Amino acid sequence: MTATQDPTNSTGPKSGAHAIPSYLDPNNIGPYEIYLEQVERVTPYLGKLAYWAETLKRPKRILVVDVPIHLDDGTVAHFEGYRVQHNTSRGPAKGGVRYHQDVTLSEVMALSAWMTVKNAAVNLPYGGGKGGIRIDPRKYSTGELERLTRRYTTEIGLIIGPEKDIPAPDVNTNPQTMAWMMDTYSMNVGRTATGVVTGKPVSLGGSLGRGDATGRGVFVTGAEAMKKLGMPMQGARVAVQGFGNVGEAAARIFHEHGARIVAIQDVTGTIHSDAGIDPKAALEHLRRTGKITDMPGTEEIKRDEFWGVDCDVMIPAALEKQITLANAGQIKAKLIVEGANGPTIPAADDLLAERGVTVVPDVLANAGGVTVSYFEWVQDFSSFFWTEDEINKRLDRIMSEAFGSLWDVKERHGVTLRTAVYIVACTRVLEARALRGLYP
């Protein structure tokens, strides 16, 4: 190592600019651009560790696979599949698998990078990973989705494993998907390997509390932020975008604690009620009719009107890039709790900060899911399972302690909570990188 390579003698590469890898379109980088911008923003706070900052910008490993399956009509269809391991400095890669027609490499890269930051933010011993298949699963039968999942798992089986990379559910995947992944991996390695995925059904080594964990973490961090901002929970008006695993649980738990859910938007439409919507009744209505709209006691509003709804807390819990410069100015909430990954573009984040809106960032707010996934993985290794009460108590403690210490960093540096989380998380990742050094 030369003197200029010595991390203690340098504060970073000579050129601050990062190279966009050739496999991304420099004119349309996609969601990974949001992440790169977030890294640029945090780099000045990293001190000598900035020497290693390029590490954060480059995923460690990317696997692109073809996933061919027999369709029910006798033809063969091919789908694009991905698994990205962004960083493994602090432990095995960990992150969900998404089935969506708009999945791209850039999106999976961004999601995997946010997992690196998230796992470090709440101090779980994991790196970051993510996977996805470019498919609209609503158009396929259960049998087709099972074949898709099994072939995809076999293809990415080269790089996943209980001590290497542990997938979990994300958008449009669920405990059944994880059961198929676990079974396929186990068949291929010749032993039952429950720890290869988390978010499994409880009867197959899943953890109690995993289903609600992300929504619960959204509630815990949201409630902590409300305390800091002097906002009472009782009667607080909450608007939720996305009514799936995260949004439904978050809405239900806020409602159970006395908040009033005034708007819900999902892919089928947007409903509003000043008097408040009962999330349990909304879920029943959705299950019965297949849509959120036409629920008795609510009015349907236009999709764009969601952002201007009179509310105190807004929870984006659907997809990324939802809060943009086109709608950030209309938001009336004083607090945004990001259930989804990457819902706010950086320019909108700046506008919200200027307007005095507090944002609990995704990498903290939705870390409850991976925290209970971590509990599941630990329980699988020891084959000893905890009660739901124990799990919820441990989850609440991890989330509220992480919130408290990150809020202190925000106050100390006079930055947004997002930058504070990135400062702490990136420091942890790069400290591990510096201690391990470069191999060989």
| Least separation in angstroms between CB 217 and ligand NAD | 8
Is residue 317 a contact point for ligand NAD (CB under 6 A)? Answer: yes
Nearest to 251 by CA among 261, 242, 241: 261
Is residue 172 a contact point for ligand NAD (CB under 6 A)? Answer: yes
Task: Round to whole Å and give the CA distance between 301 and 309.
Answer: 10
- Count how many Cα atoms sit within 13 Å of the Cα of residue 235 in the half-sphere of its side chain: 2
The contacts found for 301-304 with CB under 8 angstroms, 24 or more apart, are 301/263, 301/270, 301/271, 301/272, 302/270, 303/265, 303/269, 303/270
| Least separation in angstroms between CB 265 and ligand NAD | 5
Nearest to 372 by CA among 89, 128, 98, 94: 94
Q: What would the x/- binding string for ligand NAD be over residues 117 to 156, using CB under 6 A? A: ----------------------------------------
- Using DSSP bridges, classify how beta strands 76-87 and 128-134 pair: parallel, antiparallel or unpaired: antiparallel
Stretch that binds ligand NAD, among 8-16, 153-161, 255-263, 312-320 (CB under 6 A): 312-320
Task: Round to whole Å and give the CA distance between 30 and 24.
Answer: 8
Burial class (CB in 10 A: 0-12, 13-18, 19+), 201: middle
Cβ-closest position to ligand NAD: 244
Stretch that binds ligand NAD, among 16-24, 139-147, 158-166, 260-268 (CB under 6 A): 260-268
Q: What is the size of the binding site for ligand NAD (CB under 6 A)?
A: 23
Reduce the DSSP state of residue 390 to 3 states and report it. helix
89 is in an annotated binding site: no
| Least separation in angstroms between CB 390 and ligand NAD | 20
Structure tokens at 83: 């698994």
| Least separation in angstroms between CB 168 and ligand NAD | 7
Is residue 326 a contact point for ligand NAD (CB under 6 A)? Answer: no
Task: Round to whole Å and give the CA distance between 125 and 94.
Answer: 10
Reduce the DSSP state of residue 238 to 3 states and report it. strand
Nearest to 418 by CA among 402, 430, 407, 431: 407
Which residues are identified as catalytic? 130
Q: Which of 340, 360, 421, 423 binds ligand NAD (CB under 6 A)?
A: 340
Q: Which of 208, 315, 318, 345 binds ligand NAD (CB under 6 A)?
A: 318
Structure tokens at 308: 């201007």
Q: Which of 59, 91, 205, 242 binds ligand NAD (CB under 6 A)?
A: 242
Of the two residues 46 and 372, which places its CB atom closer to ligand NAD in the complex? 372
| Least separation in angstroms between CB 159 and ligand NAD | 21
Of the two residues 11 and 327, which places its CB atom closer to ligand NAD in the complex? 327
Q: State the residues that interact with ligand NAD by CB under 6 A.
A: 169-172, 214, 241-247, 265-267, 317-319, 339-341, 366, 369
Annotation: binding site? 94, 118, 214, 245, 373
Annotation: binding site for NAD(+)? 214, 245
